[in-house]
Amino acid sequence: MAQLITGLEAGRVRARVDSVREQIAAAGRDPADVALLAAVKYVALEELPVLAEAGIELVGENRAADLVAKVQAHPHLFTWDFIGHLQSRKVRQVLPHVRLIHSVASDSVLEQLGRHAGPDTEVLVEVNVAGEAGKSGIAPDELPAFLERCPVSVVGLMTMPPLAATPEDSRPHFAALAQLADRHGLSQLSMGTSQDYAVAVQEGATIIRLGSTLYR
């Protein structure tokens, strides 16, 4: 198990946030159009106020139980998204706490959304753009039918490209996701992590999910 991140300093995190926003601007994008999501899977619960002090407003958690614990410990610090693999039995647990679920990708999750989601629930569909075996996400050609079956509002798409030697290797996958979203009139693109967010921004990301870039 990875060691939890502790000892964060608000000034250092803020400087890294500023650096990311500068890179977004350098890519020709308005930083206001790209949401910076801090991935807090490995951030110790007691460190979360430091992120708020650094100006971070949007955070994402990968695990349902940790999401609930962190929200309950710091109920008013952040807007929360769920960014990890979502088991259908966890949908009801996650829904009350999040703005968006980034990882809707199965009919069993759709069934639970139909049972428990409210009228304002919005989600992103996870797409396995590269067709990697054993990886979460629906195939691109399955998207039209999946959107028809989804009982809540789908506002965009999310992907995790294959592990790559360089950020540039991820560009075709980000471009493909952007084209797919455009084809279906979806405005939100959750793509890009600490390793490749600059390329994702160039290809149209509206949400970038950052961890080590902010904390190291």
* Residue 5, domain member (yes or no): no
Q: Residue 58: which CATH number?
A: 3.20.20.10
* pLDDT tens digits, one per residue of 18-74: 999 999 999 999 999 999 999 999 999 999 999 999 999 999 999 999 999 999 999
* Domain-embedded: residue 27: yes
pLDDT at 2 over 90: no
Residue 1's pLDDT is 57
25, 33, 65 from 188: Cα distances, Å: 19, 10, 26
Structural domain includes residue 3? no
Mean pLDDT of 204-212: 97
- Work out the average pLDDT over 165-184: 97
Question: By the 8 A CB rule, do 200 and 170 touch?
Answer: yes
In a domain, 168, yes or no: yes
Tell me, yes or no, whether 32 lies in a domain: yes
Alpha carbon distance 156, 134 (integer Å): 23
Query: What range defines the domain where residue 146 resides?
Result: 10-215
> CA nearest 74: which of 56, 92, 101?
56
- Residue 164, pLDDT above cutoff 70: yes
| Residue 43 covered by a domain | yes
* pTM (2 d.p.): 0.96
- Say how many domains are in the chain: 1
Q: DSSP assignment of 75-122, as one string?
A: TTS-EEEE-S---GGGHHHHGGG-SEEEEE--HHHHHHHHHH--TT-E
Model confidence over 105-162: pLDDT tens digits?
999 999 999 999 999 999 999 999 999 988 899 999 999 999 999 999 999 999 999 9
What is the C-alpha separation between 51 and 62, in angstroms, rounded?
A: 17
The answer as to whether 4 is a domain residue is no
Rounded to whole angstroms, the Cα distance separating 69 from 80 reads: 12
Please name the residue that has the structure tokens 């990886």: 135
Give a yes or no: residue 191 inside a domain: yes
* 8-state DSSP, 5: B
